[in-house]
A = this chain, B = another copy of it.
Amino acid sequence: MKNAFYAQSGGVTAVINASASGVIETARKHPDKIGTVYAGENGIIGALTENLIDTSVETDADIAALTHTPSGAFGSCRYKMKSLEANRAEYERLIEIFKAHNIGYFFYNGGGDSADTCLKVSQLSESMGYPIQAIHIPKTVDNDLPVTDNCPGFGSVAKYIAVSTMEASFDVASMAATSTKIFVLEVMGRHAGWIAAAGGLVDSSIPVVILFPEIDFNEGKFLKKVDKNVKEFGYCTIVVSEGTKWPDGKFLAEQGTRDDFGHAQLGGAAPVVANIVKKALGYKFHWAVADYLQRSARHLASNSDVEQAYALGRAAVEMALDGKNSIMPSIVRLSNNPYKWEIGYGELKDIANVEKKMPENYISDDGFSITKSCREYLLPLIEGENYPPYNNGLPDYVVMQKSKVKKKLPPFEV
């Protein structure tokens, strides 16, 4: 009987732990087929460095509580494994670790990069003659994975952004006659406007201008639109993606600092946009940058998101037990209204390194709002509320014990 390995990858979300719960609870239901589920401490790095967490020590209640706890309970990391050619040693190390701990199932919970890693592990296990069933579990607030209708994590961010846009707009509407007329909310999404699009889910009586990363920032056209809204509605709400760019390709948000990968560190598109409006039109503004608040807001999670995150974790284990390998369980949409979905799956070779863009027909012709098709796609994803329990006024989120498994192999540098 084989053990399983589970790891969280990349930026965490409000519901990735619900997938973890789905994996672990389902594995526990099959003690005759799956031994222990080991979790990587801080993601795949935990496997490479042999820092494995023994999840069997965690109580059933705590594993259940993961469904209402945001963040990555076992730790995650932004560690993209290089290509097989460039760093074969790392992949071989993974197989060695799996071998040493009798691991036959590899559940990797992340975005496009981790789907790629998952695929390579599966390929290498074949060529190295040590059988591993590698199953990828989708997770990304960016909603940019192919094959699946949507990605767990996105629905809850979308709900947070839609609700926040609505609430701040109500606020500004009531002050606009004598005070603030412009509210700018900056949201995540460096490459795709999925998250920004969620700002367009509010009622059409609320004037929202969206700045998408897909559309070059056209200052003149933008100011005209904003001014028109202020004159018609008394105020204007602007939802700007951190990835919005000037026509020359430079981010509005660029701060001059870069992260470890050399990407420009973003944050600050909102004040830039607010000041552009102030300078040209003179309107008083306020701005907010939601940053991590939006992706960790489990208090406002979408129920369909939580249910799907859990279901995908569960399906990953069931598919593994069914002998599947090198696949990712996915969400298949059956109908919009009422919203119906089921679990399907795709082959990792069709998923790894493929980025799903927002369809062109989801953005209005003027480039500042979403279309009816986009709204029909998004609405089911923010459907339903799924509140965590509270204790003393604060959510009762769980923290894992993280009991470490005894190491069996020599150290390995990452």
Contacts and interface: CB of A to CB of B under 8 A. Distances in A.
A167 B299 contact: yes
Closest 7 CB pairs of A and B: A72-B174, A382-B393, A71-B170, A288-B291, A167-B296, A171-B296, A77-B178
A322 to B, nearest CB: 30
B45 A178 contact: yes
Contact of A271 (B79, B205, B267): B267
B299 A163 contact: yes
Contact of A289 (B78, B288, B382): B288
Nearest to A8: B174
Contact of A278 (B75, B168, B257, B295): B257
A350 B270 CA distance: 41
B175 A77 contact: yes
A334 to B, nearest CB: 18
Contacts of A167: 14, 70-71, 292-293, 296-299, 395
Given A71-B174, A205-B399, 7 more contacts: A79-B178, A167-B293, A170-B397, A287-B289, A288-B290, A288-B293, A384-B393
Contact of A393 (B74, B260, B302): B302
Most buried by B among A288, A291, A300: A291
A149 to B, nearest CB: 16
A215 interface: no
A117 to B, nearest CB: 15
A268 to B, nearest CB: 6
Interface in A205-224: 205
Contacts of A175: 11-12, 72, 75-78
Interface residues of A, number: 80
B286 A164 contact: no
A98 interface: no
A395 B169 CA distance: 13
A69 B393 contact: no
B292 A289 contact: no
Nearest to A399: B205
Nearest to A337: B392
A372 to B, nearest CB: 14
Contacts of A284: 259-260
A177 interface: yes
B390 A385 contact: yes
Contacts of A45: 177-178
A167 B299 CA distance: 9
Interface of A: 8, 11-12, 14, 41-43, 45, 69-79, 159, 162-164, 166-168, 170-175, 177-179, 183, 185, 201-203, 205, 255, 257, 259-260, 267-268, 270-271, 275, 278, 284, 286-293, 295-300, 302, 379, 382-385, 387, 390, 392-395, 397, 399
Number of copies: 2
A256 to B, nearest CB: 10
Contacts of A267: 271, 286-287
B171 A292 contact: yes
Contact of A295 (B76, B171, B179, B270): B171
A270 B174 CA distance: 27
19 contacts: A42-B178, A69-B170, A70-B170, A75-B174, A159-B393, A162-B394, A163-B394, A166-B394, A167-B395, A170-B296, A170-B397, A183-B292, A257-B275, A268-B271, A286-B291, A288-B289, A299-B300, A384-B393, A385-B390
A12 B387 CA distance: 26
A73 B384 CA distance: 26
A164 to B, nearest CB: 5
Interface core residue of A167, A260, A392 (most chain B CB under 10 Å): A167
Contacts of A259: 284
A233 to B, nearest CB: 12
A171 B296 CA distance: 6
Contacts of A179: 77-78, 260
